[in-house]
Amino acid sequence: MRQAINIEFQNHVKTFQDQVNRELESLDIPMEPHYLYDPVRYVSKGVGKRLRPILVMLVCEKYGADKTDALNAGLAVEMLHNFTLVHDDIMDQDSIRHGQQTVHKHWDESTAILAGDGIYAIAQLLMSRVKSNPLQAVRAFNQATLMVCEGQAYDKEFENDSSVSLDKYIIMIEKKTGWLIGLCAELGGILADLDQGLISCLRSYGLNLGIAFQIQDDILEITSNAKDMGKSLGSDVEAGKQTVLSIMAREKYHQKWDENFEKWSTLDVKKRMFEMKTFIEQNGILSDAQNLAKTYIEKAHQELIKFSPQIDDLHRFSEMVLNRKK
């Protein structure tokens, strides 16, 4: 019975994913100037998981929000997400995203900056179509956007800074990743006209889920491969990013980690990643990070206790995030 329910939920999620993909492909994006709109269309056709719009639509469906509002808000957060990725890829010099070349690699950095700006403007236009509590929805959208920018700023500030603690890292990923996923759950509550207390619970659910998501992303950066992930791996290592694995390893085995890290610095990125992966697996860091992700999933689920009846689909959604392989 449990397996049947899971399959039913997966099919339900796939239906939402297919709908989002169709709508992204059919967005009314002008043809000219080609310099702007060719890369905008290119980004929207990338193969993404669409987890963020799916979360918006799940909450909206549960509480009877208008389906058109749910779809427009879902598309808006997906475009906002894509905007952040286009600019993030420039800053991190990534070459693959959503299974295709990043915009700045396929064209150039100037094109990518402008395309990102255009994508953000389209996201705002999509949000302007929302009819239920539009001012509240737009305010939440822009607040989350600013938090994501703050998180990216911390991410850049923390590069090659071995003094960054796990607590500071959590603050950074809460802003960079957590706030956007928190927005998705929050928007569902806003569009369904729930009371402010329940909307806050939904946002907290998403924030904690987003933290778990980023911890899992850091793990996959080391343990997965570029083909499965659909994006280039190793750029975080090359840029000296502070990830959950490097911070936990440094805090648990300070001298041992520093000595090895200095030796690894002479290796190419692939060999460096292999050595780091071996270290974190053999010294229990990988399992520590996985347990930390589970802790934040549990915190997310604690927020759902305040809802009666329980939102089973959100439990299933967060478990899907925790167990993802890409």
* pLDDT tens per residue across span 63-73: 999 999 999 99
pLDDT confidence band for 93 (50 / 70 / 90): confident
Q: Evaluate the CA torsion angle 172, 174, 178, 183 in order and state its sign.
A: negative
pLDDT confidence band for 150 (50 / 70 / 90): very high
Tell me how far apart the terminal alpha carbons of the chain are, to the nearest angstrom.
27
Cα Rg of the chain, angstroms: 20
Of 117-131, 154-168, 219-233, the one with minimum mean pLDDT is 219-233
pLDDT confidence band for 227 (50 / 70 / 90): low
Helix 285-304 and helix 196-223, axial crossing angle in degrees, nearest 10: 160
Q: How far is CA 15 from CA 53, 54, 188, in A?
A: 12, 9, 18
Q: Evaluate the CA torsion angle 51, 55, 61, 64 in order and state its sign.
A: negative
Whether the CB-CB separation of 36 and 94 falls below 8 Å is answered with no
Whether the CB-CB separation of 325 and 225 falls below 8 Å is answered with no
CA angle, residues 116, 120, 125, in degrees to nearest 5: 145
CA 147 to chain CA mean position, Å: 13
DSSP classification of residue 101: E
For the whole model, what pTM was predicted? Answer: 0.92
Chain position carrying tokens 């549990």? 298
Assess whether pLDDT exceeds 80 at residue 201: yes
Q: Could you tell me which residues come within 8 angstroms of residue 207 by beta carbon, excluding any fewer than 6 positions away?
A: 174, 178, 179, 181, 182
Where are the domains positioned within the chain? Answer: 2-322
- Tell me the mean pLDDT in the region 128-132: 98
Dist CA 206 CA 318 (whole Å): 9
Whether the CB-CB separation of 102 and 38 falls below 8 Å is answered with no
pLDDT confidence band for 247 (50 / 70 / 90): very high
Assess whether pLDDT exceeds 70 at residue 229: no
Whether the CB-CB separation of 163 and 271 falls below 8 Å is answered with no
Q: Which fold has domain 2-322?
A: Farnesyl Diphosphate Synthase (1.10.600)
Whether the CB-CB separation of 92 and 30 falls below 8 Å is answered with no
Assess whether pLDDT exceeds 80 at residue 228: no
Q: Evaluate the CA torsion angle 53, 54, 55, 59 in order and state its sign.
A: positive
Assess whether pLDDT exceeds 80 at residue 4: no
pLDDT confidence band for 90 (50 / 70 / 90): very high
pLDDT of residue 1: 37
Whether the CB-CB separation of 230 and 260 falls below 8 Å is answered with no
CA 135 to chain CA mean position, Å: 25
pLDDT, mean over the chain: 92
pLDDT of residue 175: 98
Whether the CB-CB separation of 169 and 242 falls below 8 Å is answered with yes
